[in-house]
Amino acid sequence: MPRGDGLLTHELDPSDAGPQDACGVFGVWAPGEEVAKLTYFGLYALQHRGQESAGIAVSNGRQILVYKDMGLVSQVFDEATLESLAGQIAIGHARYSTTGASVWQNAQPTFRPTAQGSVALGHNGNLTNTHELVQLLRERTEGDAKSASAETATTDTSVMASLLASYRDRSVEDAALEVLPQLRGAFSLVFMDETTLYGARDPQGIRPLVLGRLERGWVIASETAALDIVGASYIREIEPGEFVAIDENGLRSSRFAEAAPKGCIFEYVYLARPDTTINEQRVFSVRERIGRKLANTAPVEADLVIPVPESGTPAAIGYAEESGIPFGHGLVKNSYVGRTFIQPSQTIRQLGIRLKLNPLRDVIAGKRLVVVDDSIVRGNTQRALVRMLREFGAAEVHVRISSPPVKWPCFYGIDFASRAELIANGLSVDEICRSIGADSLSYVSLDDLIEATHVPADNLCRACFDGIYPVELPDDDLIGKHLLELPHNGTEPLKVIQ
């Protein structure tokens, strides 16, 4: 039976693939605990960050066993599989592909043999100097017949894992201290050898990574929500430029680079769960504050404020409370669309957004609506939504967006549309309003969004909104999702040893 590829949401509306999440990583060091099951539930809490593939690696102190497959966490693992993954250390990964195709070979954790044992690695983010690292890897493995005959993979994660394994005379920990300073871009990592769990975060801290404590162990995860689900207490964020190692001697921390914080502002808008805490701010509260600011800067006479579920809900609550307009649920989300891997027929596909959202006619009929959504990418989804609300009797549809216009692509782990496809690049706000058929359209300003996060502007990456990239980007032909799969300057693809 063919396994799912995680792309049904795109197939439902291939003309308007929204911003796709980064990935979710989870690691646990807990002798005496069922670490595979803890990792399973941790990944379950992080499923929103990646739905294409899932994997868990476990060490029993002597060897590492990796199990991964395409599909959701609940599809990849069952009770028997988790029972077979016995050990004291585990890492897990839920993937959305931002570098390399969505195929089994690119599922994570990525595994490599080393001179002293082996290493398994999971990565959230996207490197920007992959081309340089591939050349470095080629130099380090030149003449290595074992490496040359291995299979190939096409991800920046594979490059990192292979580099860690290429230091034949060093431990994984010592190799990491050599490799980490050479990485550029966004990387929140969990990795392990047979006896130690490691975590690392890029000097800008673009993607989140947190540390938690169990009664008999430690946890590293992309979001605090994953700590909550396994009963771990939140200790702190892993700092930008920090490398941690956890073994029987406890936790030790070192720095491989000076911190220059540039946390992703889109985590607050859309990527992170609302119950997650970033920079000591509950994401739900940030989104609610954004809604309040929208109500003050973009008021309108209306009868009802409704969210586009689920990411628009907190901002809609804030808008309603600040404006005094009643809040209501006018759209019901089908939670399992995008969670199945049966290809829809053409007739079903033509229904488009109706497979995802269904209006409540008796709630919206005859009402002047304020519809709050998190972002507009190409505009096709909002156009279909406005049309559908009118068909169900809405008298007016006023759209409010809890982020500024998205004008630039992300190279740090979010798969946006290309710049040419972003509707805000070619049209003004008024033109976008007419394009989607709304009675009015307003976005929150970048200054208001930054203020709502309670984080200094200089500590945030805002590149998708203002085009200012905190980590230098290479030439266009040396960056992109399929860099390692396409011929480069007339040569063979930059294949990576797996």
- Residue 445, both tokens: 């300003």
Q: Pick the catalytic residue from 7, 22, 23, 219.
A: 23
> Rounded to 5 degrees, what are φ and ψ at 310?
-100, -25
Q: What is the DSSP string of 191-235?
A: EE-SS-EEEEE-TT--S--EEEEETTEEEEESSHHHHHHTTPEEE
User: Which residues, at least 6 apart from 250, have a Cβ–Cβ distance to it below 8 Å?
Assistant: none
Q: Is 23 a catalytic residue?
A: yes
Determine which helix (DSSP H) or strand (DSSP E) holds 39, and give its type and residue range.
helix 35-45
Return d(Cα 94, Cα 72) in angstroms, integer: 8
- Strand pairing category for 396-401 and 368-373: parallel
464 assigned binding-site residue = yes
373 labelled ligand-binding: yes
Cite the beta strand spans of 46-162 per DSSP E: 53-59, 64-70, 89-95, 110-113, 118-127, 152-153
The total of other beta-carbon atoms located within 10 Å of residue 76's CB is: 22
Beta 304-307 vs 368-373: how paired, if at all?
Answer: parallel
Q: What span, in angstroms and rounded, lies between the C-alpha atoms of 345 and 281?
A: 43
Beta bridge partners of 460: 263
Q: Is 16 known as a binding-site position? A: no
- Is 374 annotated to bind a ligand? Reply is yes
Neighbours of 347 (CB within 10 A): 7
What are the CA-CA distances from residue 328 to residues 49, 331, 358 (Å)? 27, 9, 14
Q: How far apart are CA 368 and CA 390, in angstroms?
A: 10
Residue 264 marked as a ligand binder: yes
Q: Phi/psi class of residue 143: alpha, beta or left (left: φ > 0; alpha: ψ in -120 to 50)?
A: left
Sheet strands side by side (includes 304-307): 304-307, 368-373, 396-401, 440-443
Residues designated catalytic: 23
**Annotated binding-site members:** 264, 311, 373-374, 410, 461, 464
Which residues sit in the known binding site for [4Fe-4S] cluster?
Answer: 264, 410, 461, 464
